[in-house]
């Protein structure tokens, strides 16, 4: 818990430091009128919301989610289908509540808050996949076609929405990671697991080849492209490189003044590298490692269904961290996903915090719950009992 | 217990090791090269342009601007986005004179993004173009030179080219002073080149504006002299003439005029680039018999002769087996040196040279050495005078140079041939001959006008050296007076003034050989109130391709005219008034 809040606080500091430059840059480039505290205040609100989300994830008993896992999965799929439908009807242009950027329609505009339906997909998978695994394990059909049919349909649809319709390879990787990690932990035979893995890899390669946009990013990575993506990575590495051992100090990032795209969201790691240097980045990475290892430890020690949920959370956060950071240092192609808890932006932080809250709740169950999961109480039952008790 | 979590632990550790290694490489090992790259990208060095100094002439001893700055605009077209028909119609209509490119050329390559279509566009026209809001048409503000005096003095003043560099004349020679020093702004900027306060390497060196230079040239006299030449040339077949008016008491140039002039605003439109060259300082030529003045002055100063010294004039001398004749065929027999000067007899000046060596028959080494000493060391002929303009040093053969017929060379040098001198050298030397023997460095800069508009005068330099004694100088004035008046009948000049001078006619050297059909004519003279030291020295030169222009017939009347103009303009009073 301390780690989670610590990372969020670090993100807040960085946004505080570079927010004024960002506002300045946006104002001069687009003639907008952001105040210098705009980004910091927004991030502050996002952090408050995220803390609330963490609390919610921690407090609401897992059994409640378990009960509605299927419905949530269905809802998430419908929501994403709805987004795709609306976008397709309008030629992949922003329209109404649909927000598109460069032909990628990933956002629903709900009042002041932009919302990415793909985040709902990730969350729903964390509840749905464990329940699917447990059901088939109980019925003895795990690893058989009765299990694989719904698994492939759900994963296929999720990847279709994220990668093909929303053109978001980064989210696709995260969804894939969640699905694969849970599958591994389900305990199926290893050769079946390897088979699925190969299938996903082939599918991924086909998707890359089929899209010129992704092809370009790959070319950029291999040093042959010359495009916005290459500009992005060059400037990210420049920011990190100029940071040196101890960084240039808070508020002295030059790369954040417009050279580095997405300086406060996807590229925040690079700006932190410039600001805090190698030492600072090591601290940040160590914090993430501690967070991930505590999730792994939880997964190791709880009952399998809990373990699967925590594995999902761990895969989610871990994939975000690895894919984001590796791209920033030029190890893998750029995909455009956030660094959990640190990047500017409400949706991502809120969902990550909620997932971590849930994992926290599960970790506290370790070794203390003896009842079978099926008989444990949902939130409704708990509150009902509490009310009865208070009446009495 | 879930055993399979080992894979996640292994996976994350591997990923983190890779990332940490990569970070170590980027941040620690490659740190310096990234810093260098960042500086290249972040630091913008921009020039703070210095304002070019203005040029003033004097009028009633007060500075009057003759070269000013004004804002002007350059029209730049982006051929890729501009509409060819619309742009040509609207911009072409507004900008006519100032176009520097053809419309067909501008739109010949539509891949270009930048084409300078017009320069020196005025404020009004720039405003009209801006109001049209044309796509792909940009206006860049800059400075251009304005010449309120029109073409007056153009050859002396020079011009400023499109790159802002002074060329020729004062603009060229004093470019460094006029241009000033551009300032430097070195700063870390954001991606839009807006300066940031980040970093401690920011540098700001303010521009040092150029000096406003005040010339010694009198604006009114300059105009009068130039117009005088122009009027005079109307009656003549020649089209080229230069005149230099100096104050022999100070070395200051009062007027330096050359016709034809050119329009410095549209300097590129001249048909013949030779008009840029200032014949007064940059062209060395043979001033011919004018140099007899210097040979005679040397012989008198050395005590070897007086104006009354006689010699036998056979009409020619044979030196180094070359027959050197007089141009004037009369006055044979025993004559005085004054007569020799009056009729510009070459035998007279050759005799003066022989006398310098203590002989009357031959040119000795001592004669050559003495003449060279006077010409080069004392009169400063054949070397830079130090005036604040581009100069030609000219050429003068040394007394022991290994040339074929050295004595013939020296014989020729006494009447101004076989040497190359600029007008400014001759006028500065002549000034010392008539002013009492003091050589002043010729100068054209009187001082500067400060930013507050105050005229700060340069200190008047004293004489550089003595060339001849006061007595010799007085004798030379009398001789030159006699020469002028013997040839022009007494009374041609207004009474009460004392004016003397000497003609010179030289064959033009074309491709290294003397031409028989082309001559260049010069006249130099001094003038002032009778009984007082001269107040002005005027030298004129007239030339024209393929024509025989003569000193007495062509150059002297121009001097007469300019001399009278000068007396009137400078309000020099006649004797007794």
Structure tokens at B143: 């400075």
Q: What is the pLDDT of residues B229-257, one digit of tens each?
A: 999 999 888 899 999 999 999 999 999 99
8 Å CB contact between B507 and B516 = yes
Residue of B nearest to A237 (CA): B26
Residue of B nearest to A332 (CA): B19
8 Å CB contact between B333 and B313 = yes
Residue A363 at interface with chain B, using a CB cutoff of 8 Å: no
Q: Cα separations (Å) of B542 from B237, B273, B527?
A: 10, 19, 20
Instruction: Identify which of A185, A251, A278 has the shortest CB distance to residue B27.
Output: A278
pLDDT the model gives residue B435: 95
CA-nearest of B498, B519, B510, B511 to B575 is B498
Average pLDDT over chain A reads: 79
pLDDT at position A111 over 70: no
Q: Quick one: CA torsion of A269, A271, A276, A281, rounded to 10 degrees? A: 10
Q: Do B15 and A254 touch (CB under 8 A)?
A: no
Q: Is the dihedral of CA B234, B236, B239, B243 positive or negative?
A: negative
Average pLDDT over chain B reads: 89
DSSP letter at B4 equals: G
* Tokens 């501008």 found at: B106
Q: What is the pLDDT of residues B359-418, one digit of tens each?
A: 888 999 999 999 999 999 999 999 999 999 999 999 999 999 888 889 999 999 999 999
> Chain B closest CA to A108's CA: distance in Å?
31
The residue ranking higher by pLDDT, A363 or A289, is A289
Q: Do B31 and A242 touch (CB under 8 A)?
A: yes
**Which of A292, A329, A363 is best to mutate for the B interface (most B CBs within 10 A)?**
A329
Residue A66, CA atoms < 13 Å, CB-side half-sphere:
23
| A residues 247..276 contacting B (CB < 8 A) | 251-255, 257-259, 273
Query: Which domains, and CATH codes, for chain B?
Result: 48-199 (3.90.1310.10), 218-262+280-570 (3.40.710.10)
Q: What is the pLDDT of residues B250-268, one digit of tens each?
A: 999 999 999 999 998 888 8
- Round to whole Å and give the CA distance between B394 and B282: 9
Q: Do B34 and A241 touch (CB under 8 A)?
A: yes
Contacts of residue A237 in chain B, CB cutoff 8 Å?
26, 34
Instruction: Give the best-scoring range by mean pLDDT among A379-383, B43-47, B56-60, B485-489.
Output: B56-60
Q: Do A322 and B15 touch (CB under 8 A)?
A: yes
Q: Do B5 and A300 touch (CB under 8 A)?
A: yes
Residue A294 at interface with chain B, using a CB cutoff of 8 Å: no
E strands, B400-470, where? 421-422, 438-439, 445-449, 455-457, 465-466
Residue A102 at interface with chain B, using a CB cutoff of 8 Å: no
Structure tokens at B140: 């860049």
Q: Do B30 and A24 touch (CB under 8 A)?
A: no
- Exposed, middle or buried by CB within 10 Å (0-12, 13-18, 19+), for B274? exposed
* CB count in 10 Å sphere of residue B201: 11
pTM: predicted TM-score of the whole model, two decimal places: 0.63
Q: What is the pLDDT of residues A241-295, one digit of tens each?
A: 888 888 887 777 777 776 777 777 788 888 888 888 899 899 889 988 988 998 8
The percent of residues in chain A predicted with pLDDT above 70, rounded, is: 79
Instruction: Give the best-scoring range by mean pLDDT among A89-103, A367-381, B176-190.
Output: B176-190
- Round to whole Å and give the CA distance between B466 and B468: 6
**Which of A134, A178, A242 is best to mutate for the B interface (most B CBs within 10 A)?**
A242
pLDDT the model gives residue B35: 83
Residue of B nearest to A283 (CA): B20
| A residues 140..199 contacting B (CB < 8 A) | 181, 184-185, 187
Give me the residue spans of the domains in chain A: 1-59+211-364
pLDDT the model gives residue B545: 87
Contacts of residue B20 in chain A, CB cutoff 8 Å?
282, 285
Residue B38 at interface with chain A, using a CB cutoff of 8 Å: yes
pLDDT the model gives residue A225: 47
Beta strands at B212-218 and B55-59: parallel, antiparallel or unpaired: parallel
* CB count in 10 Å sphere of residue B127: 13
Q: Is the dihedral of CA A214, A216, A221, A226 positive or negative?
A: negative
Q: Is the dihedral of CA B161, B166, B171, B172 positive or negative?
A: negative
**Which of B2, B10, B17, B192 is best to mutate for the A interface (most A CBs within 10 A)?**
B2
DSSP A11-51: HHHHHHHHHHHHHHHHHHHH-----TTHHHHHHHHHHHHHH
**Which of A18, A197, A254, A294 is best to mutate for the B interface (most B CBs within 10 A)?**
A254
- Round to whole Å and give the CA distance between B447 and B72: 28
* Range in A289-303, A357-371, B423-437, B529-543 the model is least confident about: A357-371
pLDDT the model gives residue A348: 80
Q: Do B22 and A329 touch (CB under 8 A)?
A: yes
pLDDT at position A229 over 70: no
Residue A307 at interface with chain B, using a CB cutoff of 8 Å: yes
Beta strands at B166-167 and B536-543: parallel, antiparallel or unpaired: unpaired
Instruction: Identify which of A253, A258, A314 has the shortest CB distance to residue B192.
Output: A258
pLDDT at position B326 over 70: yes
pLDDT the model gives residue B279: 95
**ipTM score assigned to the predicted complex:** 0.85
Residue B197 at interface with chain A, using a CB cutoff of 8 Å: no
pLDDT at position B446 over 80: yes
């Amino acid at each position: 818990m301390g780690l989670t809040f610590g990372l969020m606080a670090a993100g807040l500091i960085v946004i505080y430091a570079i927010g004024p430059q960002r506002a300045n840059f946006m104002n001069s480039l687009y003639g907008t009128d952001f105040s210098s505290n705009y980004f910091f205040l927004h991030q502050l609100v996002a952090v408050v919301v995220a803390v609330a989300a963490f609390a919610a994830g921690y407090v609401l008993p897992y059994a409640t989610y378990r009960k509605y896992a299927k419905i949530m999965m269905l809802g998430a799929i419908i929501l994403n289908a709805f987004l795709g439908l609306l976008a397709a009807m309008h030629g992949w242009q922003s329209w109404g509540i649909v927000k598109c950027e460069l032909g990628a329609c990933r956002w629903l505009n709900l009042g002041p808050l932009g919302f990415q339906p793909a985040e709902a997909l990730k969350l729903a998978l964390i509840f749905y996949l464990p329940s699917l695994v447990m059901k088939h394990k109980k019925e003895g059909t795990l690893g058989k076609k009765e299990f694989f049919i719904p698994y492939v349909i759900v994963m296929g649809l999720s990847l279709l929405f994220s990668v093909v319709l929303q053109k978001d390879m980064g989210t696709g990787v995260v969804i894939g990671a969640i699905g694969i990690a849970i599958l591994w932990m389900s305990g199926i035979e290893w050769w079946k697991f390897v088979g699925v893995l190969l299938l996903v890899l082939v599918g991924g390669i086909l998707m890359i080849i089929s899209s010129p946009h992704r092809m370009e990013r790959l070319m950029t990575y291999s040093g042959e492209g010359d495009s916005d993506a290459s500009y992005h990575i060059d400037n990210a590495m420049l920011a990190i490189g100029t940071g040196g051992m101890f960084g240039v100090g808070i508020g002295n990032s030059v790369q954040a003044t417009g050279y580095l795209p997405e300086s406060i969201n996807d590229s925040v790691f690079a700006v932190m590298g410039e600001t805090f240097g190698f030492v600072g980045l090591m601290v940040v990475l160590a914090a993430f490692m501690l967070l991930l290892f505590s999730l792994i430890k939880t997964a190791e020690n709880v009952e399998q269904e809990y373990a699967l949920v925590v594995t999902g959370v761990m895969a989610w956060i871990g994939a975000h961290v690895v894919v984001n950071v590796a791209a920033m240092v030029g190890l893998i192609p750029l995909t455009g996903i956030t660094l959990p808890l640190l990047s500017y932006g409400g949706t991502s932080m809120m969902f990550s915090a909620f997932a971590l809250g849930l994992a926290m709740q599960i970790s506290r169950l370790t070794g203390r719950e003896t009842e079978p999961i099926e008989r444990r109480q949902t939130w409704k039952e708990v509150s009902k009992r509490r009310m009865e008790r208070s009446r009495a | 217990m879930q055993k399979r979590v080992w894979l996640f632990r292994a996976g994350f550790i591997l990923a983190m090791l890779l990332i940490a290694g990569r970070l170590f490489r980027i941040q620690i090992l490659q740190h310096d090269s990234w810093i260098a790259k960042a500086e290249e990208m972040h630091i913008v060095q921009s020039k703070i342009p210095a304002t070019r100094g203005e040029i003033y002439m004097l009028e009633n001893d007060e500075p009057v601007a003759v070269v000013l700055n004004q804002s002007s605009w350059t029209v730049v077209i982006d051929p890729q986005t501009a509409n060819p028909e619309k742009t040509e119609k609207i911009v072409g209509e507004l900008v006519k004179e100032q176009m520097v490119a053809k419309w067909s050329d501008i739109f010949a390559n539509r891949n270009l993004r930048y084409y300078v279509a017009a320069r020196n566009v005025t404020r009004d026209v720039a405003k009209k173009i801006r109001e049209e809001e044309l796509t792909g048409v940009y206006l860049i503000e800059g400075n251009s030179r304005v010449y309120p005096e029109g073409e007056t003095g153009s050859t002396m003043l020079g011009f400023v080219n499109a790159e802002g560099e002074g060329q020729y004349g004062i603009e060229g020679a004093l470019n460094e002073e006029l241009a000033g020093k551009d300032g430097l702004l070195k700063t870390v900027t954001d991606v839009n080149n807006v300066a940031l306060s980040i970093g401690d390497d920011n540098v700001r060196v303010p521009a040092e504006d150029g000096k406003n230079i005040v010339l010694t040239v009198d604006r009114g006299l300059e105009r009068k002299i130039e117009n005088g030449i122009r009027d005079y040339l109307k009656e003549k077949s020649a089209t080229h003439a230069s005149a230099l008016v100096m104050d022999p008491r100070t070395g200051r140039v009062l007027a330096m005029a050359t016709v034809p002039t050119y329009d410095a605003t549209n300097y590129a439109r001249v048909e013949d680039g030779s008009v840029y060259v200032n014949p007064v300082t940059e062209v060395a030529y043979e001033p011919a018999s004018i140099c007899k003045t210097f040979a005679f002055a040397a012989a008198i100063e050395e005590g070897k002769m007086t104006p009354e010294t006689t010699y036998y004039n056979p009409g020619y001398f044979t030196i180094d087996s070359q027959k050197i004749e007089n141009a004037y065929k009369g006055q044979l027999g025993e004559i005085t040196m004054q007569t020799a000067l009056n009729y510009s007899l070459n035998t007279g000046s050759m005799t003066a040279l022989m006398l310098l060596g203590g002989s009357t028959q031959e040119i000795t080494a001592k004669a050559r050495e003495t003449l060279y000493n006077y010409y080069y060391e004392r009169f400063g002929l054949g070397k830079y005078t130090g005036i604040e303009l581009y100069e030609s040093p000219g050429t003068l053969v040394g007394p022991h140079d290994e040339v074929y017929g050295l004595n013939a060379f020296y014989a020729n040098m006494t009447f101004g041939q076989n040497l190359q001198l600029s007008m400014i050298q001759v006028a500065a030397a002549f000034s010392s001959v008539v002013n009492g023997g003091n050589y002043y460095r010729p100068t054209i800069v009187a001082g500067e006008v400060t930013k507050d508009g105050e005229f700060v005068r340069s200190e008047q330099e004293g004489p550089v050296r003595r060339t001849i004694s006061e007595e010799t100088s007085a004798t030379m004035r009398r001789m030159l007076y006699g020469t002028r008046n013997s040839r022009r009948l007494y009374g041609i000049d207004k009474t009460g003034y004392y004016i003397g001078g000497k003609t010179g006619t030289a064959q033009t050297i074309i491709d290294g050989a003397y031409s028989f059909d082309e001559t260049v004519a010069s006249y130099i003279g001094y003038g002032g109130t009778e009984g007082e030291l001269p107040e002005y020295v005027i030298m004129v030169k007239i030339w024209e391709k393929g024509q025989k222009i003569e000193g007495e017939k062509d150059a002297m009347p121009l001097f007469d005219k300019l001399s009278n103009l000068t007396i009137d303009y400078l309000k020099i009073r006649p004797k007794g008034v």
